[in-house]
Amino acid sequence: MTTETNPSMNLKEAIAQRRAARAFRNDPIPNHILQEILRLGVYAPSGFNLQPWRFVVVRSPGSKEKLHACAFNQRQVAEAPATLICCGDQRALQSDNIEATIALGREVGGVNDQLADYMRSNIPSFVENAPSFGTIEAWTNRHTMLAVAHMMVVAKSFGVDSCPMEGFSTQMVKEAFSIPEAVDVCCLLALGYADEPFKPYSGRFELNQVCFGESYGESFQL
Ligand SMILES: Cc1cc2nc3c(=O)[nH]c(=O)nc-3n(C[C@H](O)[C@H](O)[C@H](O)COP(=O)(O)O)c2cc1C
């Protein structure tokens, strides 16, 4: 097996060429590439660096069959060599994870005493007041989807296609894969090598339809 871990595509090409694949060949993803997708995916940013994302990697035929049934029998789940159950753990906001984040930051030199004190005193009140999210589930989804976005682009850069999916029953996925109550299932991410019929590009709105200048609804000009 090759140990080459450099992407075959640059960032711009990977972003532009990524499509939500609807059919996959059953060729496996080499372990070193899957590892890079996961490793670089979790370089995504997170509030206070709390990293609430969690991923269940589904590859065995038995697990794939279970997940397929939870995902309204979407063919991507049956065909893809790997599908991630992308979760967000609400307990990441609790003190043990705050302490683990501080310890990790200290280890790599990114957290000093002042920042540690700030995190200990501010995160609990931030959670209580939730000034920027209505529910903790919105908070876990916000973070997990950022990591998923990284993964899709990294995957494409290595020639691996993907399909993010919200078409699944949360209750069924949680039961079938022993996902704790405090953990939200944010999406599924099928990974593999796209097969025919290839999904065509379906277009994007113009920037002037989705970007505003200074105030919502005001026209934006470069
Ligand atoms: C959060 C989210 C959920 C999605 N759920 C599904 C899904 O359940 N099944 C599916 O086939 N595609 C799903 N998609 C893929 C979208 O249909 C697709 O991204 C969109 O049509 C744009 O196409 P493109 O990604 O190929 O450019 C989902 C995409 C996102 C971001």
Query: What are the sequence ranges of the domains in the chain?
Result: 11-93+135-199
> Which residue, by CA, sits nearest to atom 26 of ligand 1?
19
Query: Would you state the pLDDT for residue 79?
Result: 98
Closest atom of ligand 1 to CA, residue 168: 8
pTM exceeding 0.85: yes
Query: Would you state the pLDDT for residue 5?
Result: 78
Alpha-carbon distance of 204 to 77, in angstroms, equals: 26
Instruction: Check if the beta carbon of residue 27 is closer than 8 Å to that of residue 193.
Output: yes
Whether residue 187 has its Cβ less than 6 Å from ligand 1: yes
Q: How many CB atoms lie within 10 A of CB 3?
A: 6
Residues 129-165 have pLDDT tens digits of 999 999 999 999 999 999 999 999 999 999 999 999 9
Number of residues written out for the chain = 222
Alpha-carbon distance of 65 to 85, in angstroms, equals: 14
Q: Which of 75, 18, 21, 27 is nearest to 198 (CA)?
A: 21
Alpha-carbon distance of 34 to 174, in angstroms, equals: 24
Mean pLDDT to the nearest integer, 7-27: 96
Closest atom of ligand 1 to CA, residue 199: 26
2 — pLDDT class (breaks 50, 70, 90): very low
Alpha-carbon distance of 164 to 47, in angstroms, equals: 23
CATH 3.40.109.10 corresponds to the domain 11-93+135-199: yes
Between 3 and 90, the more confident residue is 90
With 70 as the cut, is the pLDDT of residue 83 above it?
Answer: yes
Mean pLDDT to the nearest integer, 47-73: 98
Alpha-carbon distance of 45 to 212, in angstroms, equals: 24
> Which residue, by CA, sits nearest to atom 31 of ligand 1?
164
Alpha-carbon distance of 164 to 184, in angstroms, equals: 16
Whether residue 165 has its Cβ less than 6 Å from ligand 1: yes
Whether residue 22 has its Cβ less than 6 Å from ligand 1: yes
With 60 as the cut, is the pLDDT of residue 1 above it?
Answer: no
Ligand 1 centroid to residue 20 C-alpha, Å = 6
Alpha-carbon distance of 88 to 51, in angstroms, equals: 9
What the block records as the tokens of 160 is: 């691996």
Alpha-carbon distance of 220 to 206, in angstroms, equals: 11
Cα radius of gyration rounded to whole Å, the chain: 19
What the block records as the tokens of 176 is: 């079938």
> Which residue, by CA, sits nearest to atom 13 of ligand 1?
165
Whether residue 72 has its Cβ less than 6 Å from ligand 1: no
Q: Where are the beta strands (DSSP E) in 6-100?
A: 24-25, 53-58, 82-89
